[in-house]
Structure 1
Amino acid sequence: MKMGLLWKLLVLQSFIGCLAESTTPLRPVFVKQPGSIVFPMHSTETRREVTFSCEAQGYPPPSYRWRLNDSFIAPRLGSRYSFSGGNLQISHLNKEEDVGIYQCLASNSLGTILSREASLHIAYLDNFKTQKRSPVRVRDGQGVVLLCGPPAHMGDLTFSWIFNAYPTFVKQDTRRFVSQKTGNLYIAKVEPSDVGNYTCVVTNTVTKSSVQGPPTPLVLRSDGIMGEYEPKIEVQFPEVISVAKGQTVKLECFALGNPAPSISWKRVEGVPFPRKVDVNKASGVLEIPYFQPEDAGVYECVAENARGKNAVKGKLAYYAPPQLTEKPQDLQRPIDESVVWECKASAKPKPSYRWLKNGEPLEPMENKLQVVNGALTISSLTLMDAGMYQCVAENRHGRVFTNAELRVIGKTGFFLP
C-alpha cells in the first residue's frame, strides 16, 4: 500500500515538473524568414498570388504582424492580404501598390523580433506607346545612333534589332553595336547597304515576353560623303561601378568614326587581365565573370583609327554587404546593474549600426543608453529594460539583423520578463 502511494507521488511530482518546464516562457526565435520575390506579371499563373513565409518558435507561441515599407498591414474582410499562421499571402497583385520591402514581426510575452527584409518586385513589360518614328538621315561614312527607348518595365531586358523584316537581325561587328544597357543601335560608319528600316526588339528575361518598337527608317543623304574623322566614343561605362564578390561584370565601349575605329582594353595599373576575362562582340564588351577583390581597379577602353584615338576610364570598386562577425548573446542581469552588448560585422564600405527593442528603434539616452561602434550599453537596469533586442548592421549594399534577449532579475531573485 505504501509502495503504491509512493509511486503515485513520484508520478505526480514528475508531471508537475514537466508542466512547469513546458510553461517556462521562451523568447521568440525565427526558424523561417521571408525571402525576396520577383513575380512575372505575364506568367501563365492566372491567380497572381505570392506568399511570404515566416515562422518562429517560442512560449507562449508567437503571434505575427507584417509591415510593408515600415507601415503595418491590417488584413480586413475582402482584403487582398491574408495571414496563414505567420505567412502573408497577397492575391491579385498590383504593381503600383504591392511592390516594396516586407518584414515579419513575431511577438510573445518576452518581446518582439523583426525579420530580415524581403523585397517584392513585379516583373512586367509594357508595349511601345509611339507608333511611328521619323526617318534618320545621314551621309555615307557618317556615324549614327538609333534610339530604342524601351517601354515601361520591371526586370532585366535584352535587346536586338530587326533589319527591314523578321527574321533578319542586325549582326554585330566592328562597325555595328547593340548596347544591352540602353538598347540603342550604334553604326560606327554608315554604308549604302545600311539603308532600310530598323526595329528594336525588347525581351524581358523574367517574363520571357517580347515587344517590338516602331520601325526607324535610315535614309542616305545625297549632299556628299562624310570625310574621315577621329573616334567619338558614344558608349561608355560609368566612372565608378560597385561590384560584389562573385558577380559578372560587363563593360560596354563603342565609338563612331571614319574609318570604323578599333576597340582595345587595358588595366590602368598595368596588371594583366586574368584568363577568365572575355572580350567579345568585336571588343565592344569586356566581361569579367566571378568578380574577386583583386579584379577591382581602373579599366580603360581605347578607340583608335587612322585619324586619331580617344579613351575612357572607369573604376571597378569591390563591395561587400555586412556579415556578422560578433553577435550579442542572451543575458540576465539584476536590477541596477549594467549591460554591454558587442555587435560587429565585416563589410565594404564599413557598416553603421543601430539597435531595436521589441522591433522599434532604440534611441540613445544620456547616462542610460549608448551605442558606440555597434556596442550597446544600458546602465542602471530597470524592469522596463527587459525585452528582445536586435542589432542591425548596414551599408548601402545591404543589412543584417541579429537577436538577443535581456531578462532582468527582480529583488526577489526571480527573472522578470
Structure 2
Amino acid sequence: MSLPWELLILLSFKACLAHGPVFTQEPSDIVFPLSSDDKQVFINCKAKGNPPPHYWKVDGREIKPELESHYSFVEGNLLINNPHVINHGGVYQCIATNTFGTVVSREAKVQFASRKARNTVSVREGQAVVLLCGPPPHYGEIKYSWVFNGQRGFLQQDARRFISQRTGNLYIAKVEPSDQGNYTCAVRNMMTNTSVLSSPTPVVLRRDVMGEYEPKIEVRFPETLHVSKGSSVKLECFALGPVPSISWRRADGNPLPGKIKINHSSGVLEIPYFRPEDAGVYECVAQNSRGRNAARGQLMFYDVEHLHWTHTLKDTQMAIDTNLQWECKAIGKPRPTFRWLKNGQLLTSQQGRHYVDSGTLSISRITLSDAGMYQCVAENDLGAVYASAELKVV
C-alpha cells in the first residue's frame, strides 16, 4: 500500500530539517583560582543539530554526571562543582553527536591555582629587593599588580618600584622604612576576567644600613627577540641601587621610531604596529651618582600569519556508488598540517575506500556506511582550526 502524497511531502520536509551537529561555541583554556569564593567552574560549549547533540570528555574519558557528582550538564555546557586541584584539572573536549554523526570541539586545558605560604624576606635599609610573584599556569593576556598591607588600591609604580608584566615580580630599587609590610601578588586573566591572589610575602627591615653602589640592571629584555608584523612589543628595563634614571637609544645609530612610547618612571619602551624598519639593536642605559650600566638586545622582524581558512567544507548529499572528493585549504605561518576526522575518529592516510592527502579527502564507491559528520583540522605551532560538514547518502 502506497503512502498518500501529502504524507510523503511531510516526511521529506522533516528529513530536510534534520541535520548533523554544528558548533556555535567551543570551550577555551582556563585557569581557575581555588582561592575564589565561587566554587564552580563553567565551561562553555554550544552546538545546534536536529535531533539535539552533546556529551563531554576529559583526558579522553567520557564524563558521566550520573556517576560523578562534581560534574553536571547545563544546556550542554559543563559545570564543575567544588573542583579539586588534582582531580578536575585536565584536557576537556566537547563532543556533539546525534543520529547523523559526531563532531569534536577544540581541546581546552583546565588548570587550578592554589596558594602556598610565603617566607619572610629580611632586607637592610637602602638595599634592593626582588619579590617573586610565582603566578599559576595561565593562558591569554595576563595583568600583574601588587597589593601592600591589604590596602584597597594596587601598589603604584614609580622610579623606585617596578612590576614586570613579563614575570609578575616586584622590584624595589632602594628599600625605605615605609616599605616594611606584607606584599600580595594579584594576577588577572584579561580573557576570562578572573583574578587570583598569592599568599602575602612579609618584608621586614634589619637594623644595619646598606651603602650606595652603581646601578645593577635586574630586569632586561632578551638578547634576541622575534617580533611579528603589526604586533606591539614592550621592552622592560629596571635597575637596582640608589634610584637610577633610565634612558633608551638604538645602538645601531638609527633614531628611535617616532611612534614609540616610553614610560620613564617604570622603564618600559613600547613599539606599536611593528614594521621591518623598526628592527635593530635597542639599548637601555641606567645611571645614578655611583655609575652607569647598560643592557641591549636585538629586535628581529618575524613575518607570521594567523591560521585561517581559505576554502572550507560544505554539507553534501551523494548517491550510492558515486565518488566524493572534499578539499579544505588553510593558510598561516608556520605552514599548517591537516588531519581528517569522521564522527570524531581519526581517518588514516589510506583506510579502505577513504584516502587522505593533506587537505584532500577522497571516498570511492560511496555506501550508506559513509554517511556521517566529517571534520578537517588545520594546525600549526600557534593553534588549530576546525571545519565540519555532513555527508548524506541517498
Match in the other structure for 1:19 = 11
Superposition deviation, residue 215 in structure 1: 1.5
Match in the other structure for 1:207 = 195
Query: Aligned partners of 1:166, 1:334: CA distance in 2, in Å?
Result: 71
Superposition deviation, residue 27 in structure 1: 3.3
- Matched position secondary structure for 1:322: strand
For 1:29-40, list aligned pairs within 5 A. Answer: 29-30=21-22, 32-36=24-28, 38=30, 39=32
Superposition deviation, residue 357 in structure 1: 1.0
Match in the other structure for 1:89 = 79
Query: Cα 1:265–1:343, aligned 2, differ >3 Å: closer, same or farther?
Result: farther
Match in the other structure for 2:123 = 136
Is the 1:159–1:200 Cα contact (8 Å) retained in structure 2?
A: no
Is the 1:161–1:185 Cα contact (8 Å) retained in structure 2?
A: no
1:262-304 CA deviation, whole Å, 9 max, x = no partner?
Answer: 33154969475353x4211425112356x56669745623225
1:388 aligns with 2:373: yes
Match in the other structure for 1:234 = 218
Query: Aligned partners of 1:145, 1:77: CA distance in 2, in Å?
Result: 51
Match in the other structure for 2:205 = 217
Is the 2:44–2:78 Cα contact (8 Å) retained in structure 1?
A: yes
Match in the other structure for 1:73 = 63
Query: Aligned partners of 2:366, 2:74: CA distance in 1, in Å?
Result: 38
Superposition deviation, residue 392 in structure 1: 0.7
Q: Which runs of 5+ in 1 are unaligned?
A: 1-8, 409-414
Superposition deviation, residue 363 in structure 1: 1.0
Q: Report the RMSD for the aligned CA atoms in angstroms.
A: 4.3
Is the 1:293–1:318 Cα contact (8 Å) retained in structure 2?
A: no
Amino acid paired to 2:123: V
- Matched position secondary structure for 1:214: strand
- Matched position secondary structure for 1:21: helix
Query: Aligned partners of 2:155, 2:305: CA distance in 1, in Å?
Result: 39
Query: Aligned partners of 1:259, 1:86: CA distance in 2, in Å?
Result: 56
Query: Aligned partners of 2:230, 2:21: CA distance in 1, in Å?
Result: 31
Q: Which runs of 5+ in 2 are unaligned?
A: 189-193
Query: Aligned partners of 1:216, 1:183: CA distance in 2, in Å?
Result: 21
Amino acid paired to 2:25: Q
1:66-101 CA deviation, whole Å, 9 max, x = no partner?
Answer: 122333212224522223553333322333333344
Larger Rg over CA atoms: 1
1:323 counterpart (308, 325, 336): 308
Query: Aligned partners of 1:399, 1:346: CA distance in 2, in Å?
Result: 11
Match in the other structure for 1:146 = 130
- Which shifted more, 373-382 or 348-357? 373-382
2:344 counterpart (359, 373, 387): 359
Match in the other structure for 2:234 = 250
- Matched position secondary structure for 1:75: coil
Superposition deviation, residue 402 in structure 1: 0.6
- Matched position secondary structure for 1:102: strand
1:73-130 CA deviation, whole Å, 9 max, x = no partner?
Answer: 12224522223553333322333333344322222333211234445455x562x513
1:226-246 CA deviation, whole Å, 9 max, x = no partner?
Answer: 56x5x5432123456677888
Amino acid paired to 1:341: W
Superposition deviation, residue 161 in structure 1: 7.1
1:57 aligns with 2:24: no
2:144 counterpart (151, 158, 161): 158
